[in-house]
Amino acid sequence: MSMEQDTPIRSTPFEAPDLNPETRRKGPSRLTILLSMAAIALFVIGWFLFTASAVQFDWQPKSTSFAITKGWHYPLGDRLLIRPGTIEIKAFAEGYAPIETTVTIEDVPSQSIQLALEPLPGIVTLSANTAGAEILMDEQRVGVTPLERFDVSAGLHKVRLRHPRFVTGDFEIEVTGRRIEQSFDLNLEPAWAEITVSTTPTAADVAVDDEVLALTPATLPILEGQRRIRFSRPGYKSKEIRLDIERGVAQTLATLKLEPADATLSVTTQPSGASIQINGEYRGQSPLTTSVAPDETLSITAKKAGFDAAERDLSLSPNETRSLALDLTPRLGVLAISVIPRDADILLDGVAAPQLTLGQELLSKPYELTLKKAGYADINQRVTPIAGQTTRLTFELLSVEAAKLAKMPAQIKTHQGGRLQLIEPGEVALGAPRRARGRRSNEIERQVTVTRPFYLGQFEVTNREFLAFDPSHEPGLLGRILLSEGDRPVVNLAWSRAVEFCNWLSQKEQLEPAYSQVNGEWRLTQPVTNGYRLPTESEWALALAAVDENNVKPTFPWGESLPPPPRFANIADESARGAVPYVVEGYDDGYRGPAPVGKFPANRWGLFDLVGNAAEWVNDRYSVAASTAPEMDRTGPETGDLFVIRGSSFLMGRFGELRSAYREFGQEGRQDVGFRLARSIPEDESP
């Protein structure tokens, strides 16, 4: 059946149209509205296009997807049209951390904005050719090798591996990130060398720096540096060597032979304190415990002063301990002591032993004998009684002063080779009695005590010695007599030049100079120093020793009459006729002028030429003041322009000039006046 046949026809209600024109003008037509809306849209679009900026987003990585979640935008090719202002963007890419960020669009026609996503950390595994190496990444500790699957930020990283048996290694790794897994295998350089060791016998412990590592034979990885390697085995002596190890340089050491372990021997003696020798080698005093070589014959000897030696032979096994007791037989002798004064104390090894005056039986060994008495110097002497005999010893104590004097060297030397003799203290009478034949008015009698010993030149100072101080000095000629030969006494020099020579010589020998200048004048320093000086007049007269065996002072140093004994001194003799106004009749000393020093006999002090050759400057300033009381250590007046000259010279032949008491004075040099040296002994050394 067709639609036309099945569908019924129904009527439709009719409504007439409104033909009133007023009613039809009430509002705009639909068309008008649509057109208006289109115009507005076109305006808005035009305004948007005119005011929007063309923005291009450059993403890192390029695969980044993004969406603008806040802000008007319109795609235009590969750019977006966006009004100036702030927009919000979400972006993401595989392997990167998503971001939500705010972007400011500037009021410019076009712009490009670069944005980057942060790659996610990589998954890193670090391994090395040794386990347990400490890992520092970018100077921060992160663990030890092997370290598996730990997060590391993308980029270049510094890795340091440290291990006590390897050389510290520094590496760089490039981590991709983005959750990509990477493995890095880092190799360290070994810090050891392989050392092969062996011993005879084998199976000895090998310890390196006290750490036992293996039994011999063995090949050991030993750290570089100087190492102590000790080999030990029960029943044998340990042996230690020091070895310089260079990493990577293998060494094979020569086989070490271990010696059997020592045995232990304990030795006691009766009495104790004996010296013990084993095979002639001193080991100590009894009681003694010492190590000895095993499996060989040992000769043990015990010795003690005053006893016969005891000997024994024996042999010990390795690690054996044995005790040995030895009895010593005493050796006795008698010691008898005599001492002056008889009431002196006698000590033996510090213990009072008065019975020694009668004789005492003692062990034949050294003892320290001490003899002492107040006011006397102690005697300390080592004595040893002789076995089977009586030893008798006699001693005489000296006063403290005499003992100090006895200890002083009898002679000293200058650095030039000149010798000075020790002169003992004593009393001396200066001057001469008023009625003595030949006496001069300046020979004032005075009694002087020289209280301290002193040293006095054995010879007068020679030209050779003085020229070392003053090379320009010229003693000149005396007629046809030559005065400048090196071994003759230096003459023709002022007193002050003699003093300056003394100070120069003191400084050369690092002694304290004896003279200092006060107001432009040389003065003997007080207290007297240990430097060289001129002798005082009292010292010079004491050294002349012009006293006979009966303590009577003769007129001349040799006696009471002229001429002197043959070749006694160099004075004006027959050979000097024509050169001097007076000569000693019938006397010939063999020299017309000055003689080499030391050519004539010395006096009892061992001094030469105090009589004759050159007269001599002494320390004292000249004075004729009388003295009423005995004087001690006289040095003369402190001031004055003239100085004392003592002794005769090779130009003198008259009675008065040759006497012991003869004295002159002067200041400037003279061709027959020289000097000799003196030196004081410091008070703390002087008796």
HEC sequence for 576-617: HECCECCCCCCCCCCCCCCCCCCCCCCCCCCCCCCCECCEEE
pLDDT at 41 over 80: no
- What pLDDT is attached to residue 206? 93
Q: How far is CA 569 from CA 7, 489, 566, 572, 608, in A?
A: 196, 14, 8, 10, 9
Average of pLDDT values for 279-304?
93
Query: Which is nearest to 420 in space by CA: 517, 549, 506, 538?
Result: 506
Are both 447 and 521 inside the same structural domain? yes
Beta-strand relationship, 155-162 and 169-175: antiparallel
Backbone angles phi, psi at 539, to 5 degrees: -65, -40
Q: Is residue 518 part of a domain?
A: yes
Q: Is the pLDDT of residue 403 over 90?
A: no
Say yes or no to pLDDT of 38 above 60. yes
391-398 average pLDDT score:
90
Same domain flag for 101 and 243: no
The whole-number pLDDT of residue 399 equals: 80
532 and 628 part of one domain: yes
Q: What's the whole-number mean pLDDT along residues 130-149?
A: 92
| Radius of gyration in angstroms for the set of CA atoms belonging to the chain, rounded to a whole number | 62
Quick check: 145 pLDDT over 50? yes
Percentage of residues in the chain having pLDDT higher than 90: 64
Task: Assess whether pLDDT exceeds 70 at residue 27.
Answer: no
Q: Are residues 476 and 604 in the same domain?
A: yes
Q: Could you tell me how many residues make up the chain?
A: 687
Residue 456 placed within a domain: yes
pLDDT surpassing 70 at residue 599: yes
What is the residue-averaged pLDDT of the chain?
89
Spatial separation of the C-alpha atoms in residues 143 and 599, rounded to whole Å? 101
Confidence band (pLDDT; 50, 70, 90) for 398?
confident
d(CA 653, CA 307): 74
Based on the fold, state whether residues 267 and 389 are members of the same structural domain: no
Please say if the pLDDT value at position 365 is more than 60: yes
Same domain, 470 and 404: yes
Q: Residues 175, 196: one domain?
A: no
For position 7, what pLDDT does the model report? 46
Find the mean pLDDT for residues 563-576: 92
Q: The domain spanning residue 109 has which CATH number?
A: 2.60.40
Q: Is the pLDDT of residue 196 over 70?
A: yes
* Structural domain of 165: 122-186
pLDDT tens, residue by residue, 535-568: 999 999 999 975 555 546 788 998 888 999 999 9
Indicate whether 685 pLDDT > 60.
no
Q: What was the pLDDT predicted at 315?
A: 93
The CA distances from residue 156 to 139, 162, 240, 562, in Å, are 13, 20, 50, 122
Confidence of residue 1 (pLDDT cuts 50, 70, 90): very low
Among the candidates 257, 286, 301, a domain finishes at 257
Reading the block at residue 592, the tokens are 């017309």
Report the pLDDT averaged over residues 451-467: 96
Query: Any bridge partners for residue 678, and if so which?
Result: 456, 533
Determine the pLDDT at residue 95: 87
Residues 151 and 108 in one domain: no
- Looking only at the bridges linking them, the beta strands covering 454-457 and 419-423 are antiparallel
Query: What is the pLDDT, as a whole number, of residue 79?
Result: 84
What local confidence, expressed as pLDDT, does residue 23 receive?
47
Same structural domain for residues 466 and 377? no
pLDDT band at 64 (very low <50, low <70, confident <90, very high): confident
Residue 15: inside a domain = no
How do residues 651-662 score in pLDDT, each as one tens digit? 999 999 999 999
- The answer on 465 and 597 residing in a single domain is yes
Q: Give the per-residue pLDDT at 578.
A: 82
Residue 6 has pLDDT above 70, yes or no: no
Token couple for 9: 């026809």
Return the pLDDT at 33.
80
Q: If we measure between CA atoms, which residue out of 610, 644, 259, 640 comes closest to residue 444? A: 644
The answer to whether the beta carbons of residues 260 and 318 sit under 8 Å apart is: yes
Contacts from 479-485 at CB under 8 Å and sequence distance 24+? 479/579, 480/579, 481/579, 481/592, 481/593, 481/594, 482/593, 483/593, 483/594, 483/671, 485/596
Structural domain ending residue among the three candidates 350, 368, 397: 397
Q: Output the CA–CA distances (angstroms, integers) from residue 648 to 14, 577, 658, 675, in the order listed.
A: 194, 17, 6, 12
Say if residue 80's pLDDT is above 90.
no
Share of the chain above pLDDT 70, in %: 93
CA dihedral 407, 411, 413, 417 (to 10 degrees): -160
Q: Are residues 410 and 336 in the same domain?
A: no
Assigned domain for 7 exists: no
How big is the CA angle at 422 (ends 418 and 425), to the nearest 5 degrees?
Answer: 145
Higher-scoring residue by pLDDT: 85, 198: 198
Each residue of 326-361: pLDDT tens digit? 999 999 999 999 999 999 999 999 999 999 999 999
In this structure, are 150 and 172 located in the same domain? yes
Comparing CA positions, the residue from 473, 408, 377 lying closest to residue 685 is 408
| Res. 13 pLDDT band, cuts 50 70 90 | low
Above 50 in pLDDT, residue 680?
Answer: yes
Total of domains in the chain: 6
pLDDT at 575: 86
Q: What angle do CA 130, 134, 135 make, to 5 degrees?
A: 105
Taking Cα atoms as reference points, which of 536, 527, 589 lies closest to residue 558?
589
CATH number at residue 299: 2.60.40.1120
So what's the pLDDT on residue 344? 92
pLDDT score for 10: 55
Name which of 613, 619, 620, 667 is nearest 462 in CA terms.
613
